[in-house]
Amino acid sequence: MAASKTKCIGILTSGGDCPGLNAAIRGVVKAAIGVYGIKVVGFLDGFRGLVENRTINLDDRAVSGILTQGGTILGTSRDKPNKMPMGGKKMDMTNVAMENLEKHNIDCLVCLGGGGTQKNAYHLHNAGGVEVLTLPKTIDNDVYGTDITFGFDTAMGIATEAIDRLHTTATSHHRIIVCEIMGHNSGWLALGAGIAGGADVILIPEIPYDLKAVAKHLEKRRISGKRFSIIAVAEGAISLEEAKALAKAEADGKKKKNSSGEVVVEKNADGHAYHLVQEPKASQIARRIQQLTGVEARVTSLGHVQRGGSPSTRDRLICSLLGTATADSLAQGNYNNMIAIRGDHSEPVPLKDVAGKKKLVPKDHPWLQTAELVGTCMGV
């Protein structure tokens, strides 16, 4: 058994669930225990379980058979250690979290999660000197510093299959179908699935859309004899008008988020409030497109279906790679990094360079160029 500078670790999953979490847990545990003799303590339900000191012992038997399972055997939550809902209030429970880590003689806390988890882990390190390692998880693929996040490939496959199936109904009934895909701030999922599924219009948060331009594109399709259309839209996509309103509100210091993390804008002097989620985005677009084109439009929202089910082959490989690389980093005593994917390899990236940043779709990304070359309308 190889010598290890780390004797005991804690591990938790935080944020939204996604395919691959169990595969990543398995990779960490099997390599940490089997190769390096590191003890592994699992904290239940994310940072809340850490604060409430709810744990399970993770050994080879505990992770047997979980490679193909969706969700997370540890449970998850979106609670933050420094803003933990407790008795109707939000309290800073950082010190309690640190005390619980000390009780279990934890040398390093391994956190699996998205952008929020990277920030929360970095907070624990800065606030109490806790050694941490993180793995990039999210179906949105928007974690900074890694080529890809685990969960993204599976979710993109699910969304692509949905668009494939929608083509059948759209063609049979000569309709416009608007398919809403997850992605509050980034359009990776809608863009990838839209291209792979042959969507005729793709709307993403990074490119504010003009529905008149979309309607014009759909009309050209109709005139050319194509009597159906599929619109793939990220849930966080915004119109040109909304983008201008947000820019003005941000400049005026009136931009904020509600309890669900949705961007809202406080009322202006005339009493009007710009709220980006008055109704589902796909519903807004379908209603307006139907008015502009005179063609019947229907809506499909994939919602949490994209998060569920067994991870894809690629996600299983990525998670196994990240998990075992994490164990290796622990054995070497290399902490306070995110283990990122770089091509076919893993690479530690300083957490300070990741926390608080998002990876959005750049305007010159090859996927956007591909969409343009096959005649996809991006809303402009």
As annotated, the active-site residues are 140
One-letter amino acid at 40 equals V
Let me know if 315 is exposed, middle or buried by CB neighbors in 10 A (0-12, 13-18, 19+). Answer: buried
* Torsions phi, psi for 95 (to 5 deg): -65, -35
Cα 267 from Cα 53, distance rounded (Å): 42
Cβ neighbour number for residue 271 with a 10 Å cutoff: 6
C-beta separation of 339 from 133 below 8 A: yes
Cβ neighbour number for residue 136 with a 10 Å cutoff: 32
As a residue count, the chain comes to 380
Task: Return the C-alpha torsion angle 148, 152, 157, 162, nearest 10.
Answer: -140
- Report the largest interatomic distance among the alpha carbons of the chain, rounded to a whole angstrom: 71
Cα 202 from Cα 37, distance rounded (Å): 49
C-beta separation of 9 from 39 below 8 A: yes
Cα 283 from Cα 281, distance rounded (Å): 5
